[in-house]
Amino acid sequence: MCLYSANFRINNIRGSEHWLPNSLEPGTETALMELLTHRPVQVNLLNEEDIPHTALAAVGVSVTDPGQHKTFQFHMELMKNDLDVHEIEPKARNCYFPEEVLPFSVYKAYSFSTCITDCTRQFQMKMCGCTPYMMNPFADPRYPDCDLAGFNCLESHFMVKPDAKLLLGKSNGKTNCECLPSCNEGDIRAIYESVSDFNRSSTARNITLSMPALPTDRYRRMALRTRLDVVVSTGGMLGLLLGASILSGIEFIYYFTVRALNNVLQARSHRA
């Protein structure tokens, strides 16, 4: 939830002070939230590891006028990962888990939006040796804040708010972000936004968020071949083609290393 003068996050693993309960009984309860504020507000719906980013299209709604009320409905599809997926290299599975934080990141969890932000900061540091204060929310000493000269440098290189397409593009031959999606990233879609109605006797702004139907579909990411599968397949091929097994290979190595060394040591002890 982003006010024009401040930023508030609810149920976000990056720093929510209060975690609202979100467990529902499918048969009797409905996902519904009423937000009441006396200031103009923009509400965005994000995955729990994401942060707002102007370069990424957000699903959300805004109210600006006193007494204004809107109803916003959305649908979400979840992602489930098998335990074996963690054993696969990120480049092969084409995603990162939230705990796989990149070494140059200032955030405590990985997501595509934080990767874009971290990448932007890296480009700013490369160009001008500093970064805007809002790009370093945790005051990481590796990234000093820009002064007026630093902001002029960033502006001259069009790096205050760079185009994310340029950062992600690979056709220009320059260094790019190579950001991967989050493995836990769900798909949030807007399905309805009402026309504003007004209560002229009130100065408050009101937003009703609802998910009419709880998620019924869930994507599953699974490993087609784990490390154990590779061992089993290798043993099977050796047995089929050579009449041997992995144990035969271990015995072969043992015979020409440990066994040979032991024979040499015994021969020396007999001579002594």
pLDDT tens column, 125-175 = 998 999 998 888 888 899 999 999 999 999 998 888 777 666 665 544 445
Quickly list DSSP for 62-118: EE-STTEEEEEEEEEEEEEE-GGGGGS-HHHHT-B-TT---TT--SSS--HHHHHHH
Across 195-199, average pLDDT: 87
Q: Note the pLDDT of residue 130.
A: 92
> pTM of whole model > 0.75?
no
| Class for the domain spanning 96-180 | mainly alpha
Across 82-107, average pLDDT: 89
Check pLDDT > 70 for residue 12.
no
Across 54-76, average pLDDT: 87
Which residues, including other chains, have CB under 8 Å from residue 53's CB and lie 6 or more apart? 113, 116, 117, 164
Structure tokens at 189: 């879609």
Q: What is the 3-state secondary structure (H, E, C) of 4-61?
A: CCCECCCCCCCCCCCCCCCCCCCCCCCEEEEEEECCCEEEEECCCCCCCCCCCCCEEE
Tell me the CA distances in angstroms from 271 to 192, 263, 264, 266, 268, one per residue in order. Answer: 91, 13, 11, 9, 5
Across 40-54, average pLDDT: 85
Q: Note the pLDDT of residue 159.
A: 83
Distance (Å, whole) CA 240 – CA 14: 53
The pLDDT confidence band at residue 3, using thresholds 50, 70 and 90, is: very low
Question: For the chain, what is the mean pLDDT?
Answer: 81
Distance (Å, whole) CA 124 – CA 255: 58
Residues facing 74 on adjacent strands: 190
Closest CA to 97 of 184, 11, 219: 184
Structure tokens at 251: 């015995």
Check pLDDT > 60 for residue 5.
no
Q: Note the pLDDT of residue 144.
A: 92
Closest CA to 184 of 141, 138, 139, 221: 221
Residues facing 81 on adjacent strands: 221
Distance from CA of residue 260 to its chain's centroid? Answer: 52
Which DSSP category does 144 fall into? P
Q: Note the pLDDT of residue 6.
A: 60
* Lowest-pLDDT choice from 74-88, 115-129, 159-173, 201-215: 159-173
The pLDDT confidence band at residue 2, using thresholds 50, 70 and 90, is: very low
Across 179-207, average pLDDT: 88
Q: Note the pLDDT of residue 46.
A: 86
Domain ranges of the chain: 1-78+187-219, 96-180, 227-271
